[in-house]
Amino acid sequence: MSNEQISAKVIVDKEYVLSDIDERIYGSFIEHLGRAVYGGIYDPGHELADENGFRQDVLDLVKDLQVPIVRYPGGNMVSAYNWEDGIGPKDQRPRRLELAWSTIETNQIGTNEFAEWARKAESDVMMAVNLGTRGMDAARNLLEYCNHPGGTYYSDLRIKHGYKDPHNIKTWCLGNEMDGPWQMGGKTAEEYGRVAYETAKAMKIVDPSIELVSCGSSNYNMPTFPDWEAITLEHTYDFADYVSLHQYYGNHENDTANYLAKSLDMDDFIKTIISTCDYIKAKKRSNKTINLSFDEWNVWYHSTESDRGMQPWQVAPPQLEDVYNFEDALLVANMMHTLINHSDRVKIAAMAQLVNVIAPIMTENQGKTWKQTIYYPYYYLSVYGRGKALKPIIQSDKYDSKEFTDIPYLDSAVVYNEERDELVLFLTNRHLTEPLNIECDLRSFENFHVLEHVVLEHDDPKAVNTKDEEQVRPHNIGNAIIDNQSLKAAVPKMSWNMVRLKRKVD
């Protein structure tokens, strides 16, 4: 395929508005798993730890990402978690066997500490409740502890623990992956639907201002998908505001061309969930629309083998520490494009996870932090992907792979920020050996000029970043130009690009 000329034509018009983007689609996730908490966000012996033991270098990187919301405390861990273990004096907190990941949970970080960390990170908390081994009673009590101003048992207990003001956590997950046989207290769809309904009803009485996420299928390949969504939403529809989606991908076959197309699978997953939600809406003759919370997504496969041999019952062992390569960064970018392109229904999302565990940010205990390859698309899309999602009209050359047909070489998302009067094009060239010649008709964007063309590229799809060497990092010397209201660029082979445009000031 050498010297093959490939091209794409794009029309971008400010009238083709898909949706206002809810900034929460750039959220993330911290679970009590591996070194996400202990050794990740919390490392009290570190030279950069603050008075609470939180690593300031990690906080700085999280704030750079502008993460708007962080899901906590799980994940699989939440389905056997007693939230009461993580409050009160630290020297009185129990050490527990953590059954989901076969570790020891010290409970030195709990609800109050994490809420404090989130404030320092300039992020909101998305709290998950245990609907595995517990249920409605524990959930309503936790909500009272977090959000009620005072004058009741649990709100006064929070005040006694040193937190006079409520945490005012507004987004709550009704359990986690309850369809999974690996889950502590896993349930059938009917069983989950009933307990989630009763829990949601009680929680909305305690605090009517909260939003609730009904638990969806653990992934696209579950044998009960999408019946699980249809059956559970029959119960939870009136009280839930969102249904959750989870999906991870990996290049197990070492087939890069096929791997970079896996975001098409994510697109199909989202479309199927939307159809299922709208079927239940019609069946219930409801005027309410259920939106989507894609609250676990990422690449996850590099660490699978090494984790199998890990000794159980350690404190914060290095679990799920995928070392991401360049092609992983390209797929992560495409997955984020997909979220933007469904922002009319996907209102919340969480890259799983944020630090050390399948994460963009890595640390060594008592040592350095560094940015994984996937940090960069996350950063640029989060910071510059705020505003209105526009629907680009694309004609692109295509290819076929092992799993997919008619894969466009161009994967993209387009965002218009009216407040800053900026148009941002996010572009991936999936071709492994040739540049993609892009011509973009900007018919309704007069007098715009190129502010910057950022390129993430590397000749080796397996190139990685480590604490000692950053092989994969972006540059801003892309070749995009404006010629008579048309943007033209030769996007490098196998690259991700951000072209940021702004109106010229006379």
pLDDT in 10s for each residue of the chain, 506 residues: 456 799 999 999 999 999 999 999 999 999 999 999 999 999 999 999 999 999 999 999 999 999 999 999 999 999 999 999 999 999 999 999 999 999 999 999 999 999 999 999 999 999 999 999 999 999 999 999 999 999 999 999 999 999 999 999 999 999 999 999 999 999 999 999 999 999 999 999 999 999 999 999 999 999 999 999 999 999 999 999 999 999 999 999 999 999 999 999 999 999 999 999 999 999 999 999 999 999 999 999 999 998 998 999 999 999 999 999 999 999 999 999 999 999 999 999 999 999 999 999 999 999 999 999 999 999 999 999 999 999 999 999 999 999 999 999 999 999 999 999 999 999 999 999 999 999 999 999 999 999 999 999 999 999 999 999 999 999 999 999 999 889 999 999 999 999 999 998 86
Burial 215-253 (b: 16+ CB within 10 A, else e): bbbbbbebeebbebbbbbbebbbebbbbbbbbbebbbee
The pairing of beta strand 436-441 with beta strand 486-491: antiparallel
Report residue 217 CA to chain centroid gap.
16
Between the alpha carbon of residue 146 and those of residues 71, 72, 167, 218, the distances in Å are 15, 13, 5, 27
| CA 60 – CA 82 distance, rounded (Å) | 31
**DSSP H helices in 207-255:** 227-236
Catalytic amino acids? 177, 296
- The residue extents of the domains of the chain are 6-15+389-503, 22-260+295-384
- Helix H or strand E encompassing 203: helix 189-206
At the fourth CATH level, the homologous superfamily of domain 6-15+389-503 is Golgi alpha-mannosidase II (2.60.40.1180)
Per CATH, 6-15+389-503 and 22-260+295-384 having the same topology is answered no
CATH 3.90.1300.10 fits 22-260+295-384, yes or no: no
What was the pLDDT predicted at 1?
Answer: 41
Residues near 9 by Cβ (< 8 Å), separated by ≥ 6?
394, 395, 396, 438, 439, 440, 441
